[in-house]
Amino acid sequence: MSTPSILILPGDGIGPEVMAEVRKVIDWYGAKRNVTFDVSEDLVGGAAYDAHGTPLHDDTMAKAQEVDAVLLGAVGGPKYDVLDFSVKPERGLLRLRKEMDLYSNLRPAQCFDALADFSSLKRDVVAGLDIVIVRELTSGIYFGEPRGIINEGNERVGINTQRYTESEIERVARSAFELARRRGNKVCSMEKANVMESGILWRDVVTEVHQKDYQDVELSHMYADAGAMQLCRWPKQFDVIVTDNLFGDLLSDAAAMLTGSLGMLPSASLGAPMANGRPKALYEPVHGSAPDIAGQGKANPIACILSFAMALRYSFDMGDEATRLEEAVEKVLADGLRTADLLGEDGAQPVSTSEMGDAIVAALEASVA
Ligand code: NAD
């Protein structure tokens, strides 16, 4: 197979700062593990607008369609708030997601032992937590027609439509079952089949896909509101949760916060397999461009580094190397290193973005010594 290719789009604010630390990790893999990538870099968001007058140049879009994985930092910032909606930095990211047809959004909620006291839940509820929420990303109520605000009689009516086709449900269900096979082999599907026809169809199609091709994976169903309660009560009962766009939006944010700081949360958005069998893929931290701390060396690079770990696992079939990287992160946290966002009340001194990146590379180095 040809050298795996990655397009890096650092973006705005802290995006370039955290991405610089990912570059150190990528360089380490090249130098020490003989895992080389064909890496190219380009602009997105406000940075692309400044250079080209558009948040995503057509050439960049074309490159994104060709590579094996896109790694994005973050977009946006107050400087761009005045721009017309059509050229706002976020439009660059939305265009990437839409044109790459990234329908399966993976949001892990993983609690590193050293940070268990950071959660708003009790230590024993979250310590060792490792679940993934698979959210359908390209359909459902955010896209369904009809939509709008109309006049009816003497008042206005707001309308959005929840709409799912069988094939849309089937492909995201497959993505969840495939993921579960690489993890704890359990999928819990969440909808509201008790009150929504789209929920009834969702449950039917997930069950059919399971019956047909994934009987080795344990499948359960839960109403999404009960799922929200269970996520707060005992999240470790789950392995993979698959759900629609709206419920996934809410549940993945709630689950992510079980584990502490925004600076720790990676994500992957996957689409259909390409000719080489790899899925179309975009990896990015969940956080934004954090203008309040940009340029100060305070950003936590771990979310972006863990996003690269997801790329190793899901795009490049290097699960062992992904685990090595996750363990390196766990090691530096266990050693007590903290960026400012992870500091408790104990008065410890924070490390900078680059010190955190260097420490993770040193832990990688120690893992092969
Ligand atoms: P944000 O995620 O940028 O920041 C929220 C808070 O979390 C801030 O206090 C910030 O300092 C902190 N934070 C975020 N990431 C951190 C990190 N890695 N290390 C330490 N602290 C971190 O969200 P926001 O303030 O609502 O948005 C800022 C800009 O980012 C806006 O322009 C918004 O549109 C954009 N945004 C972009 C994305 C994206 O690119 N995917 C996502 C969300 C927001």
The best mutation among 262, 298, 305, 341 to test binding of ligand 1, ranked by most ligand atoms within 8 Å of the C-beta, falls on: 262
Q: Strand, coil or helix: what is 272? A: strand
Q: Please tell me the predicted confidence (pLDDT) of residue 345.
A: 64
Q: Tell me how crowded residue 42 is: count the other CB atoms within 10 A of its CB.
A: 19
Q: Please tell me the predicted confidence (pLDDT) of residue 343.
A: 85
pLDDT > 90? residue 346: no
Q: Please tell me the predicted confidence (pLDDT) of residue 217.
A: 98
SS3 percent helix, strand, coil of the chain, rounded to 5, is: 45, 20, 30
pLDDT > 70? residue 1: no
299-304-305-309 Cα dihedral, nearest 10 degrees: 160
CATH class label, 1-107+263-369: alpha beta
The predicted-structure confidence for 114-131, as pLDDT tens digits, reads as follows 888 888 889 999 999 999
What's the rounded Cα separation, in Å, for the pair 258 and 252?
Answer: 10
C-alpha 210 – ligand 1 centre gap (Å)? 38
Query: For the residues 219-242, what does the mean pLDDT come to?
Result: 97
C-alpha 34 – ligand 1 centre gap (Å)? 34
Query: For the residues 321-334, what does the mean pLDDT come to?
Result: 97
What's the rounded Cα separation, in Å, for the pair 293 and 350?
Answer: 14
Give ligand 1 pocket residues (Cβ under 6 A): 14, 18, 74-77, 90, 93, 262-263, 284, 287-293, 299-300, 303, 341
Question: Which tokens in the block code for residue 313?
Answer: 């696992």
Percent residues over pLDDT 70 in the chain? 99
The predicted-structure confidence for 264-307, as pLDDT tens digits, reads as follows 999 999 999 999 989 999 999 999 999 999 999 999 999 999 99
Query: For the residues 5-11, what does the mean pLDDT come to?
Result: 98
pLDDT > 90? residue 140: yes
Confidence of residue 260 (pLDDT cuts 50, 70, 90): confident
Q: Are 24 and 361 in contact (CB under 8 A)?
A: yes
- On average, the pLDDT of the chain sits at 95
The predicted-structure confidence for 69-88, as pLDDT tens digits, reads as follows 999 999 999 999 999 989 99
- Please provide the CATH number assigned to the domain covering 120-259: 3.40.718.10
Atom of ligand 1 nearest to the CA of 18: 18
Q: Are 309 and 326 in contact (CB under 8 A)?
A: yes
Confidence of residue 197 (pLDDT cuts 50, 70, 90): very high
Percent residues over pLDDT 90 in the chain? 89
Task: Name the catalytic one among 24, 63, 79, 142.
Answer: 142
Spatial CA neighbour of 175 closest among 140, 226, 214: 214
Q: Please tell me the predicted confidence (pLDDT) of residue 120.
A: 85
pLDDT > 90? residue 253: no
Residues of the chain with CATH 3.40.718.10: 1-107+263-369, 120-259
Q: Which pTM does this prediction carry?
A: 0.94
CA atoms within 13 A on the CB side of 352: 9
pLDDT > 70? residue 41: yes
For 153, list phi and psi in degrees, rounded to 5.
60, -130
